[in-house]
Each structure stands twice: as structure tokens, then as C-alpha cells.
Amino acid sequence: MSKNSQNTAKQKEEKKVVFLLRHTVETYGLLAGFVVLCVFLSIASPYFLTLSNIFNVGRQIAVTAIIAFGMTFVITAAQIDLSVGSVVALTGVITAALVTRAGFPVWIWLPLVLLTGITIGLMHGFFVAKQKIPAFLLTLATMGVLRGIGFIYTRGHPIYIGSRGFRAIGRGFIGPVPIPIIIMVIIWLICYFILTQSKIGKYITVVGESQRVARLSGINVDRVLIFVFVIEGVLTAISGIIMASRLGTGSPQVALGLELNVIAAVILGGTSLFGGEGRMFGTLLGAMVIGTLVNGMTLLNISPYVQMVVRGLVILGAVWVNMARYRVKR
Amino acid sequence: MQKEPLLKMKGICKKFGSVQALNNVDFELYDNEILGLVGDNGAGKTTLIKIVSGAYSPDEGKIFLRGEQVNILDPRSAKTLGIETVYQDLALADKLNIAENIFLGKERLKNFLGTPIRILDKKRMEAETLPTLRKLKIDIESPRAKVATLSGGQRQATAIAKSIFWKARIIIMDEPTAALGVAETMKVRQITLDLKKEGASVILISHNLEDIFSVVDRVIILRGGRRVGDRLVKQTTRDEIVKLMITGERAIQ
């Protein structure tokens, strides 16, 4: 008996060391990777470290990252949302229509566009929570439907947005910092706070680990599921606005395949693919790594075809590491 | 024995498809009593307690709490009525720590920096967890230990702590010792007796007659979805209970 307890004590000690090691690698591994990537790129390309390039990358990252923060909630709840690229396109088109064609002021078009995001989120949440449709298949379907609506409305042609004030959202600065980066940081702070400090953040995590445990503890699982899709809907709409402003058009063709970058950022950041463990800071880092990688490849004149392959491989690698990490833990 | 029961169920029926899991079962639990619920696999024990804990609703039958008819719609309403369940698989969130598990669904909140925003009061929840852990005499270093890192007995104790923390009147324990070693089994039995000492009533489901005879006051035997016996432990024998479980008939003495 005493030998037995000694053994378990020793095992516990070992477990602790392994846990600490893993924790360190998980927390700082990606950060180290990011630093290495940046150092490499600043040596390889004279343009990488210029202020204009950094701002450019930052603006691109912001669009992906804002959606990825929402996706962190979604994946932590053991769900997925493949429709984000289409929602960016659709909300961009709607924004352009409201700003240019209807000529609405900001206090009308902004709530309307955000409401579109909320509605899409509510719809996703309803089908997942109340109709028990797997999120993967549901959002695969809406991915086609929502972009298709954008195409039908515009007949495939982008809507040009002339409004100077509107274009400032994506291209303007506050002080020396581009506005999209400021929006991204604010949203990150809020999301980090929700995930780690709030009741709903805790419930999202528990629902992702086990819906049964959540239900037996008296948590309203349906409400939690709807909540994560609504957050994701709103944040994707915000990204849609930034994207439209940056491009100066609302086009149904933008953000094709964006869901891959977004999911890659979340997975790279260490949020468990199985649900039940979310890492908001990791997601921010993950989005920065993906964005920098894409930018770096462009600066180095790597062909877009090769870029596709590299991006795919990075996602594969991230999924592989993620699976290994969380499978061992189970 | 003639007092009014704390919990009383009358004529409970439950069907799953064509399977009659419970057939006109009566059940009563008295104040400050440890009641054993025994029966072979498929006898309907789990279905019966799932009805009490709000996981299932009965097709027919009435439930009374202190003589008043109640509807137990879901686990939440069972909790509000003071009924807590320690599930066989414990139903703990492995990735959360002990305090988070105990307060799951009933978190303590505080205002964030004087604003009206309500956030989790983690410190307070951890502090409030400590006395309960001490009372159960569990050797756990800290309420911040993740459940995934605990031993079987510690996990069991955490699940029990989760139910007694909320001053439940009725605690249902589903096969609490099934997965435990000898020392941990003894500990859980002791905890069960302590719960009674503090005034709670316990429904204990067990395959282990050793559990039944060491802690239980009274035992109800189910077989094939029917109640076939109700004995005071002091006035019965193992043979009789086994016989009732298997044949549904009274042993010849």
C-alpha cells in the first residue's frame, strides 16, 4: 500500500514536470516561431521591416484575427463555422449597398450590417442547438448560400464605395496606428476577457468538453451554442466592413478560402480541436504567424500556387500538433 | 417508519420504445435515512433515479416532496428542490479545477472594477470550497487542482463535495464505489455516513452488498421494472436480498 502511494506520488511528480514542460512549449513555442519567422524575413527581404509593410500586414491580419477570435469561441464549444469567408463577402456587399446605393449615414448602416451578422449567427445557432444539425455540414451549406446571395444581388459585379469617411475605417489612422489594428486590439481584449473571466466563457468551455456534464450542472447548453455563433456572426460582419472599406468596394468574390486562414490561426494558437480548451492569446499569435507568412512569401516573390501549398502544409502541421497535444492529454 | 416520507413516488411508469423500464413503481425515502436501491442489471434502478434527478420524466406517476406534489422537469429543477446527484461517471468537467466544478452552473460573481459588469469571483469560490474539502477529509492540495489530475477517490470526493456544498436534502449516489480501491471505498462509505449525520437523506445504488450492509438503513429491491421488496437492513439477510433480486420471491427461511 505504501509502496503503491509512493509510486503514485512519483508518477504525479513526473506528470507535473511533463505538464510544465508542455505548458511552456505551448505558451512560448508559437511566439518563438513568430520571432524566428520575422527575423528570417527581415534578413531575406529589405521591405519586410518597413513601416508601410508592417501596417499593411497588420491591416490584413486584423480581418483574419477578428474572425478568428470569434472562431476561438466556436471551436472551444466543439463547433465549427466554415461560412465566415462568405459572410465577409455578403456583409461587404450589403455595406456597400447601404452606404453607396442607399446613401445611409453610419448610424443606420452600421447597426443594419451588425444585425445581419447577428441574424446569420442566430440561424446557425438555431440549427445546431435546436435541430441538432452538425455545424460542419450546416456551415458548409450556408457557405454556398450566403455568398450566392451576394452574387445574385450584385450580379457578380463589385459595388464601388466612394465615401471618404467610410474608406477611413480600413485605411485611416488614429495617431500613428492603422484603425483596423486598433479595432482588432479592442475586440481581442473583450474576447479574452469573456473567455477567461466571465460566466459565459466558462460555460462555453464546459459545453465544448461535454454537453452532458454542462446539462447536468444546470447549464442551458442551447443558449451557449447560440451565443458562440452569434458572436462569430457579429465579428465576421465587422471584418466584412473593414474588408469593404480597405478595398473600397463590396464584392461577392472577396475572402474566398478565408475560413482556412481563420481556422488555421485558431488551431495554431493551441485551442483544442476537440473543444473544451480555448486560447485567445494563442489565436492572436496564430493570426499574426499566418498573416506574416503570407506576406513574407509575397515579398519573396514566391508564386501564389506555391503559397497555396505552403499554407495548406502549415494548416496540416498545426492540426497534427494539435491532435497530438490533446490526444495525449485525454 | 409511519412518518410522512421526505420523498414519495407513486405509480411510476417509464417506457423506452417497447421496453417497460419501470412498471407502476412506488418509492419512498424518509428523513435522515440512507436508502439502498438494489437490483440486477436492467432492473430499473438507474431509470428510477434519473427520474428523481430530472434527467428523465416519467410516463405516469406522481412525485411528492414532503407531501406536496412536485414536477421535476430537468436537472436544474431537481437542484432547486434540494436533490443532488453523484453520477456513476461523476459528471465532472476534467479540464476545470475543483472549485470551478463545485460552482459550475452556480458561479459566484463580482463587479469588475466597480463597473456593472459581472465577472467570476474565482478567489471567493476557491476560498468557499476549502471548508467543504476539509470536512470530507480529502487530501487535496488545493481547490485549484484540475480534476483531470486527481485520483479516483479524489474525483469521487469532488463529485460528493459538489452535491453537499449546496446543502442538498436528498443526495443520490449511483454506484459510488464501483471503480474504487479498498481504502477509497471505505472512505466513501464513511462520507455517506457523515452525510446522514448532517441530516441529509441518501439514495445509494449499489451492486455491492457490502456497501448495503455497512451503511444502509433500508433497502428497496427492484426486478424487471417492478418493486419486489422493501426491507430494513437490520431485519434481513444477504441471502434474502439476493434471492429477491434474482427471483423476485421471498426467500424461504
Check if the beta carbon of residue B94 is closer than 8 Å to that of residue B152: no
* Contact: B91, A8; criterion CB under 8 Å: no
CA gap B184, B177 in Å, rounded: 8
End of a domain among B148, B167, B186? Answer: B167
Of A25-34, A135-144, A209-218, B198-207, minimum mean pLDDT range = A25-34
Check if the beta carbon of residue A127 is closer than 8 Å to that of residue A133: yes
**How far is CA B4 from each of CA B29, B30, B64, B171, B196, rounded to the nearest angstrom?**
9, 7, 10, 18, 18
ipTM: 0.83
**pLDDT score for A324:** 82
Assess whether B252 and B174 both reside in one domain. yes
End of a domain among B137, B167, B197? Answer: B167
- Does residue B187 lie in a domain region? yes
Assess whether B18 and B33 both reside in one domain. yes
Q: E strands along A140-207, which residues?
A: 159-160, 173-174, 177-178
Assess whether B176 and B246 both reside in one domain. yes
Q: Within an 8 Å CB–CB cutoff, is residue A215 touching chain B?
A: yes
SS3 of A178, please?
A: strand
Please report which confidence band the pLDDT of residue A12 belongs to, taking 50, 70 and 90 as the band edges. Answer: low
Residue B251 pLDDT more than 50?
A: no
Check if the beta carbon of residue A159 is closer than 8 Å to that of residue A96: yes
- Does residue B37 lie in a domain region? yes
Q: Within an 8 Å CB–CB cutoff, is residue A212 touching chain B?
A: yes
CA gap B121, A44 in Å, rounded: 49
- Does residue A53 lie in a domain region? yes
Nearest to B80, CA basis, from A199, A218, A8, A121: A218
- Does residue A191 lie in a domain region? yes
Provide the residue count of chain A.
Answer: 330
Residue B98 pLDDT more than 60?
A: yes
- Does residue B90 lie in a domain region? no
The DSSP annotation for B195-237 comes to: HHHTT-EEEEE-S-HHHHHHH-SEEEEEETTEEEEEEEGGG--
Assess whether B42 and B160 both reside in one domain. no
Residue A236 pLDDT more than 80?
A: yes
Residues of B in Cβ contact (< 8 Å) with A3:
none
- Does residue B124 lie in a domain region? yes
The pLDDT tens digits of the residues spanning A149-191 come to 999 999 999 999 988 999 999 999 999 899 999 999 999 999 9
Residue where the block lists cell 420524466: B57
Of the candidates A8, A197, A214, the beta carbon closest to that of B120 is on: A197
CA gap B42, B189 in Å, rounded: 25
Nearest to B86, CA basis, from B162, B18, B2: B162
Of the candidates A205, A212, A277, the beta carbon closest to that of B91 is on: A212
Of A262-271, B128-137, B142-151, minimum mean pLDDT range = B128-137
The pLDDT tens digits of the residues spanning B163-212 come to 888 878 899 998 888 878 888 888 888 888 988 888 889 999 988 888 88
SS3 of B148, please?
A: helix
For CA atoms A245, A175, A114, A131, the dihedral sign is positive
Task: Mention every residue, 6+ apart, whose C-beta is less than 8 A from residue A115.
Answer: none
Task: Mention every residue, 6+ apart, whose C-beta is less than 8 A from residue B216.
Answer: B34, B35, B36, B204, B233
- Does residue B53 lie in a domain region? yes
- Does residue A14 lie in a domain region? no
CA gap A246, A172 in Å, rounded: 9
Closest-CA distance of chain B to residue A83, Å: 29
Assess whether B230 and B172 both reside in one domain. yes
Ramachandran category for residue B180: left, alpha or beta (phi over 0 → left; psi -120 to 50 → alpha): beta
Which of B88, B104, B109, B112 is best to mutate for the A interface (most A CBs within 10 A)? Answer: B104
Q: Within an 8 Å CB–CB cutoff, is residue A1 touching chain B?
A: yes
**pLDDT score for A2:** 45
Closest-CA distance of chain A to residue B23, Å: 26
- Does residue B221 lie in a domain region? yes
Q: Within an 8 Å CB–CB cutoff, is residue B144 touching chain A?
A: no
Nearest to B147, CA basis, from A217, A267, A70, A228: A217
CA gap A162, A111 in Å, rounded: 20
The pLDDT tens digits of the residues spanning A77-118 come to 999 999 999 999 999 999 999 999 999 999 999 999 999 999
SS3 of B3, please?
A: coil
Residues of A in Cβ contact (< 8 Å) with B91:
210, 212-213, 216-217
CATH number of the domain where residue A306 is located: 1.10.3470
Check if the beta carbon of residue B241 is closer than 8 Å to that of residue B231: yes
Closest-CA distance of chain B to residue A309, Å: 35
Provide the residue count of chain B.
Answer: 253
Q: Which helix (H) or strand (E) holds B19?
A: strand B19-29
- Does residue A24 lie in a domain region? no
Which of B84, B87, B120, B125 is best to mutate for the A interface (most A CBs within 10 A)? Answer: B120
Residues of A in Cβ contact (< 8 Å) with B119:
193, 197-198
The pLDDT tens digits of the residues spanning B186-199 come to 888 888 898 888 88
CA gap A265, A41 in Å, rounded: 19
Residue A128 pLDDT more than 90?
A: yes
**Percent of chain B having pLDDT more than 90?**
38
* Contact: B91, A213; criterion CB under 8 Å: yes
- Does residue A10 lie in a domain region? no
Assess whether B48 and B150 both reside in one domain. no
**φ and ψ of B230, to 5 deg:** -150, 110
Residues of B in Cβ contact (< 8 Å) with A214:
93
End of a domain among B112, B142, B167? Answer: B167
Of A140-149, A229-238, B84-93, minimum mean pLDDT range = B84-93
Q: Which helix (H) or strand (E) holds B171?
A: strand B170-174
**For chain A, what is the domain count?**
1
Residue A38 pLDDT more than 90?
A: yes
- Does residue B30 lie in a domain region? yes
Check if the beta carbon of residue A50 is closer than 8 Å to that of residue A196: no
Q: Which domain holds residue B194?
A: 1-82+168-253
Assess whether B163 and B183 both reside in one domain. no
Assess whether B111 and B67 both reside in one domain. no
Check if the beta carbon of residue B147 is closer than 8 Å to that of residue B96: yes
Q: State the burial class of residue A18 (Cβ atoms within 10 Å of its Cβ: 0-12, 13-18, 19+).
A: exposed
Report which of residues A65 and A14 the model is more confident about. Answer: A65
Assess whether B130 and B202 both reside in one domain. no
- Does residue A17 lie in a domain region? no
Span between the terminal Cα atoms of chain A, in Å: 27
**pLDDT score for B2:** 57
* Contact: A212, B112; criterion CB under 8 Å: no
The DSSP annotation for A123-172 comes to: HHHHHHHTS---HHHHHHHHHHHHHHHHHHHHTTPPEE---HHHHHHHH-
* Contact: A216, B55; criterion CB under 8 Å: yes
**pLDDT score for B101:** 94
Please report which confidence band the pLDDT of residue B253 belongs to, taking 50, 70 and 90 as the band edges. Answer: very low
**For chain B, what is the domain count?**
2
**φ and ψ of B22, to 5 deg:** -135, 135
Check if the beta carbon of residue B222 is closer than 8 Å to that of residue B26: no
Task: Mention every residue, 6+ apart, whose C-beta is less than 8 A from residue A21.
Answer: none
| Cα nearest neighbour of A11 on chain B | B149
Assess whether B64 and B111 both reside in one domain. no
Report which of residues B155 and A72 the model is more confident about. Answer: A72
* Contact: B87, A205; criterion CB under 8 Å: no
Q: Which domain holds residue A94?
A: 45-329
Assess whether B145 and B177 both reside in one domain. no
* Contact: B76, A277; criterion CB under 8 Å: no
**pLDDT score for A22:** 73
Of the candidates B100, B119, B149, the beta carbon closest to that of A198 is on: B119
**Percent of chain A having pLDDT more than 90?**
80
CA gap B28, B51 in Å, rounded: 13
- Does residue B58 lie in a domain region? yes
**φ and ψ of B65, to 5 deg:** -115, 120
* Contact: A216, B94; criterion CB under 8 Å: no
Residues of A in Cβ contact (< 8 Å) with B93:
205-206, 209-210, 213-214, 217, 276
Eight-state DSSP code of residue B146: B
